[in-house]
Every structure is written in structure tokens, then in C-alpha cells.
Amino acid sequence: MDTIIKDVLHPTLGRVNVILEGNKIKRVTTDYITDSEQRYEFIDGEGYVMFPSFVDGHAHIDKTVYGLDWYVNDVGYERIDRIVNERDRRARINFNYFEQASRYIELSLKLGVLHMRSHVDIDTQHKLKGLEQVLEARKKYKDLFDLQIVAFPQSGLMVRPGTYELMDEALRMGADVVGGIDPAWIDRDPKGSIDAIFKLAEKHNKPVDIHIHESGDLGAFDLELIIEKTIAMGMQGRVSISHAFCLGMPNDKVTKPLKEKIKNANINIINCYQAYLPAVPPLKELMEMGINIAGGNDDMRDMWTPYGTGDILERMQLISMKNGFRRDEDLELSMTACTFNGAKVMGLENYGIDEGCNANFVLVKGRTISECIVTCPSDRIVFRNGKIIARYGENLF
Ligand SMILES: [Zn+2]
């Protein structure tokens, strides 16, 4: 049976009735609709805001210990400490990637996160085990959840011989995006690292998404190299830089031209705006420049961080806070980052809440988008392909 949602608040059109047919949004209308239409199921949308289905643009689905015993974090303070600790610890506890990825997907679905770009570790210790099991989880939930996988050489692509070949195999197996990490800090060879990433991208005809945590001038230098390579390879629109903290440094002389170059090379920026970060890319400024900047949860309850709930609505709140947003229209920018802009990064088709779009959306209890972002209510109704799949925090499939 098809569905009519009555009197729901649409972010741009106001109070509307939404008619779903099959897996599509057939009509969004202010016309009066009576309950006598027998072929429709009516849902009272009054008091709810209609959000496009949430997009987590940067996740690590293979890492979470959510649902397991509390993980006591006694890891060293450097990034490399966390990398080595995780690699070794996962080997000792015989980490079950399939089970953890499945848990993460089920959690995401009940919160309204229907699309995720997740990095999955590829290294010479665990080889392709994590990827194999995450691919299994993706298969299990394929009708409900869009999972885009980035082959992620977290331990380094150049510093650990054999990683390039594993990345090559990962892309053959079904990874969708070529990942990378700190070409200087971690990989110790900026040009070599970036050349290798783009070589894999060309060979497999895949987009690129590189973690750049490097701050200050070093980060800016690596960004320059990525921009140059993107243009040289004609990959404008197919390259993302995750984090790009250096864009938040207070040196306009460096960041201003860099932002212009990012815009001209049509590179996506993805940032997660964790509270403990000293500098982050300015969301509003980049959006106003026309740069596609998306948000994500990044690590969620794993060996890197004890924090995170998997909730992208909560992430919108954190993004707003980190950017110092108070005005309602500014808070709404964080919604754009975690919906439309993430969808653009992932290349989702027919995404949105207008007529003709796929009927994937979330009704969130509240009076405005900003109120929903501030209160993060658990009262949500999640639609996938025109059907309700979760309500009040419970999955119904
Ligand atoms: Zn990450």
C-alpha cells in the first residue's frame, strides 16, 4: 500500500502533504487530501520535520567496539600510537568485523542514517580480512543501507611495503574509493604517496578520499600536491580531502589561495568537527565560496575514541557548536553538510525530499530544523524506499 504523509513540515516548502508511490516521492503538495483515499495509508506528519535521509560522509565502520565490553583506552597520545595499538589489539582479540559492521549499520538505520562512506583499514598485518567481512555486512543490508567503502591504508601506503598490492586487490574486490593518509607525517614521502594513490585511482577508475590531519604549512603543502595531481589527472569532482585541518589555521595568506584552488579543482572537503580539535575548516565560509563540504561521525566508540553515538543529527549539533553557530539559518548549514553535501560526495542519485526523489527520508519530532538539531529527539520515523523501517529508535525490518 502506498502512503500519504499529512501536514509535515518540509524545510523549503512549509507544511505539505507528501504522497509516496513505490519507492519514490510522487507528489509534495499543499492541496487538501481526504482520508477517503482507500488505497493509501495515512500517516499524521503534524509536529514532524521532514529531513532527507542522513548521510555519514566519513565513518570507520570496521573499527567500532560498540556493543562489546567497555574498551579501556590507555593508548599513547600520538596518532601513530593509536594506529599501532589498534592494529595489534585487533589481532589479539580476533576482532569480528562482520558483527561489528552489522551492529553499526543497524544502529545507523534506526537513527535515520541510510548512507555512509566508510574507510576500511588495509594493512600488511590484517591484509584484506576487515574488508572481506565488511563487504559481507554490506551485502546483508544492501536493500536498506548504502555503504561506500574507501580502501584505507591507515598504517601507511609507502612505509609498509606490500600495502600498495593489497590496496590494488581491495579495489578489485569491491572497495569503491582509493584512500590515503598524511603523505608526509605517516607516509614520509608526500609525492610518492600521492602518486601511488592516483595511480590506483586511474587503474581502477575510482574516486579518491585522503585523510589529511597534517596541520599548518605541512598540511597546506600536501593539499597543494593533491590539488595539482587532481587537475593533472582530470579528476575534478572525484577527489575528497577528509579533515583538512590546515584550512582552519589563522593564516589567511596561506589558506585563502588554498581555498580558491580547492574550489577551482572541485575537491570535496569532509570534516567531522570533533570538540577536541584545535583548528577546523570554516564550514560557512567554504560553503559560501561554493566548496562542497560534508560532515560525518568519524570514529565512533572505538580504539581511537570513547565518544560517539552514530547519530548524524547529533553530529549536526556538534558541527554547529564547533563553528560557533547560533542563528537558525547557520544551524541549517550543518544539516546541508550531513545530507545534500554528503550525498554529492557519495554520488547518490535521486537524493532529496522533492517530487521524483527516492523515498528515503526521516521525520523528526520538532517544529524547525534547528530545534531538531538542538534537541536530537529519539522520536523519528525512518523511511527507506517508501516504507517505514524504523520508529522511535527501533528497527522494524
Ligand atoms: Zn577517519
Could you report the per-residue pLDDT of 13-22, keeping only the tens digit for each? 999 999 999 9
Q: What is the pLDDT of residues 2-12, one digit of tens each?
A: 899 999 999 99
pLDDT surpasses 90 at 394: yes
In terms of residues, how long is the chain? 397
Task: Quote the CA–CA distance of 337 and 103 in Å, as a whole number.
Answer: 25
- Give 264-291 pLDDT, tens digit per residue: 999 999 999 988 888 899 999 999 999 9
State in Å: Cα 209 to ligand 1 middle. 10
**φ/ψ (deg, to 5) at 172:** -70, -35
Once rounded to an integer, what is the mean pLDDT over residues 299-305? 93
The answer on pLDDT for 35 being more than 80 is no
Centre of ligand 1 from the C-alpha of residue 301, in Å: 13
Q: pLDDT tier at 49 (50, 70, 90 boundaries)?
A: very high
Q: How far apart are CA 198 and CA 179, in angstroms?
A: 10
Greater pLDDT, 252 or 203: 203
Alpha carbon of 79 to ligand 1 centroid (Å): 12
Q: Does the pLDDT value for residue 177 go beyond 90?
A: yes
Residue 36 has pLDDT above 80, yes or no: no
| From-to residues of CATH 2.30.40.10 in the chain | 2-52+352-395
Between the CA of 372 and the centroid of ligand 1 the distance, in Å, is: 26
Query: Distance from the CA of 381 to the center of ligand 1, in angstroms?
Result: 29
Phi-psi region of 293 (alpha: psi -120 to 50; beta: other; left: phi over 0): beta
The CATH architecture annotation of domain 54-346 reads Alpha-Beta Barrel (3.20)
pTM of the predicted protein model: 0.97
C-alpha cell at 147: 555503504
Distance between CA 115 and CA 311 in Å, rounded? 12
Distance 179 CA to ligand 1 centre (A): 10
Q: What is the pLDDT of residue 91?
A: 86
Q: pLDDT per residue over 62-104, tens digit each?
A: 999 999 999 999 999 998 999 999 999 888 888 999 999 999 9
Give the closest residue to 258 by CA, choosing from 299, 291, 301, 295. Answer: 291
Ligand 1: centre distance to CA 121 (Å): 10
Confidence label for 40 from pLDDT (cuts 50, 70 and 90): confident
As a whole number, mean pLDDT of residues 365-389 equals 97
Per-chain mean pLDDT for the chain:
95
Q: Which residues lie below 8 Å from residue 94, measured CB to CB, with a gap of 6+?
A: none
- pLDDT in the model for residue 37: 60
Rounded distance from Cα 270 to ligand 1 centre (Å): 10
Distance from the alpha carbon of residue 355 to the mean position of ligand 1, in angstroms = 34
pLDDT the model gives residue 131? 98
How many CB atoms within 10 Å of residue 53?
Answer: 26
| CATH top-level class of 2-52+352-395 | mainly beta
310 pLDDT band, cuts 50/70/90, is: very high
Q: How does DSSP assign 29-81, residue by residue?
A: E-S---TT-TTEEEEE-TTEEEEEPEEEEEE-TTT--TTSS-------SSHHH
Residues 198-211: what's their mean pLDDT? Answer: 98
What count of other Cβ atoms lies within 10 Å of the Cβ of residue 34?
A: 7
Do 313 and 115 meet the contact criterion of CB atoms below 8 Å apart? no
Instruction: Give the Cα separation of 195 and 187 in Å (integer).
Output: 12
Mean pLDDT throughout 334-343? 98
- The pLDDT of residue 277 is 84
Ligand 1 centre from 119 Cα, in Å? 7
Q: Tell me what the mean pLDDT of segment 117-144 comes to.
A: 97
Q: Which residues of 325-336 are buried (b: 16+ CB within 10 A; e: fewer)?
A: beeeeebbbbbb
Is the pLDDT at 220 greater than 70? The verdict is yes
Residue 36 or residue 295, greater confidence: 295
What's the gap in Å between 152 CA and the centre of ligand 1?
9
Lowest-pLDDT range of 118-132, 168-182, 266-280: 266-280
Say if CB 30 and CB 47 are below 8 A apart: no
What is the distance in A from the centroid of ligand 1 to the CA of 297?
9
- Ligand 1 centroid to Cα of residue 58, in Å, is 6
177 CA from centroid of ligand 1 (Å): 14
Ligand 1 center from residue 76 Cα (angstroms): 18
pLDDT tops 70 at residue 340 = yes
Mean pLDDT computed over 332-351? 98
Q: Residues of the chain with pLDDT > 70: what percent?
A: 99
Q: 375: CA distance to ligand 1 center in Å? A: 26
**CA 272 / ligand 1 centre spacing (Å):** 9
- Distance from C-alpha of 109 to C-alpha of 145, rounded to nearest angstrom: 7
Report the separation in Å between the CA atom of 203 and the middle of ligand 1, taken as the mean of its atom positions: 24
